[in-house]
Structure 1
Amino acid sequence: MSTPIEANVSPSVASARSAKSAKTVKSSKKTYLLFFSSWFFLIASGVLGTMLYTEHLKTQLGSQLASQTEAQLQTMQTQYQQQLDQLKASVTTDITTLQAKVDSFNELLAFTKDSANSKTDNSNQLYTQLAEVKKKLDELKQNLDVLK
């Protein structure tokens, strides 16, 4: 009884087994092909989904940054406008104050000129002060023109 099992099997059974093993080889090849194609499909769909989601996030982030930037620019513009208005008001006040000083110096100069005698030379001092005040007034007017 040490004969192989195959020796006792008839040739028709052996051919049936070889046909059956050929079918299993074909079906196992189909199974592997189906398995690998499924994995390829899963990986490809994962990559495609990742790319689409990344593009969606880029678009969303871009729109958020644009809205934040617009809000910041609007805030900066209003602050700049407020500062500019304050500066204009300040320059206008300074010009008005200097104009009042110039007028008072003119009055004082006219009075001094009328009452000056040959012994006093106060009028020259007033003329230099008046010239300095006029220079300052002209500078402020130029600054105001630049702001406009």
Structure 2
Amino acid sequence: MSMQIESAGQPSAPRNVKPRKPTKKTYLILALVWAVLVGSGAWGAKLYIDHLKRQLKEELAVQTNEQLTAVQEQYQKQIAELKDNMTGEMAKLQTKVDAVNELLAFTKDSASSKTDNSNQLYTQLAEVKKKLEDLKKQLDALQ
């Protein structure tokens, strides 16, 4: 009781089929596929490098802006300090000029013909005024 099972729609394949030899057409197709793969890999690498360049430029721009802002703030702070110092120095110098003017007026009123202290006071006053003008010029230059 042995029964053979045959497939209804498919003929049986012969077992002695020899593999075909690759033809020139097969090599050409393989070469084209290889070229497409290499080309797409190169194109993908270029896209990735462009993306990295763009990202690096953006990061550098952010860092540069932060550094410039920090430098600008520091510069503004230094200028404010110098301006305050110059204003204080000018106030002190103005006080000295006023004191010298009062002393000069007193000396001029009480000077006798024997002493010539008023010339010394005028010289000192001229020097103090010159220093005051220099300080004003420096303050104007800072602004």
TM-score normalized by the length of structure 1? 0.80
Q: What's the counterpart of residue 25 of structure 2?
A: 30
5+ residue gaps, structure 2: 1-19
CA shift, 1:28, in A, is: 2.2
Q: Which ranges of structure 1 fall in alignment gaps of 5 or more residues?
A: 1-23
How far apart, in 2, do the equivalents of 1:80 and 1:143 lie?
17
Query: 2:93 is matched with which residue?
Result: 98
**How big is each residue's C-alpha offset from its partner over 1:120-147, in whole Å with a ceiling of 9 and x where there is no partner?**
1111111000000001111111222222
Separation in 1, partners of 2:38, 2:113: 108
Give the Cα–Cα distance (whole angstroms) in 1 for the partners of residues 56 and 66 of structure 2.
Answer: 15
Aligned residue identity for 1:67 = V
SS in 1 for 2:23: helix
Matched residue count: 126
What do you get for the CA RMSD once the two structures are aligned?
A: 1.7
Select the residue among 48, 56, 63 that pairs with 2:58: 63
Distance in 2 of aligned mates of 1:129 and 1:42: 91
Counterpart code for 1:122: N
Aligned pairs (5 A) from 1:112-123: 112-123=107-118
- Please name the residue that 1:74 is paired with: 69
Which position in structure 2 is the counterpart of 1:15?
A: none
The amino acid of 1:85's aligned partner reads A
Q: 1:145 aligns with which of 125, 140, 143?
A: 140
Displacement of 1:34: 2.1
For the pair 1:107 / 2:120, whether they are aligned, the reply is no
Residue from 83, 89, 92 that aligns with 1:88: 83
Q: Following TM superposition, by how much is the alpha carbon of 1:31 offset from its aligned partner in structure 2, in angstroms?
A: 2.0
How far, CA to CA, are the matches of 1:145 and 1:73 in structure 2? 25
- State the percentage of identical aligned residues: 58
Q: When the two structures are superposed, what TM-score results if normalisation uses the length of structure 2?
A: 0.82
Deviations 1:7-46 (A, max 9, x none): xxxxxxxxxxxxxxxxx46x52232122111210111011
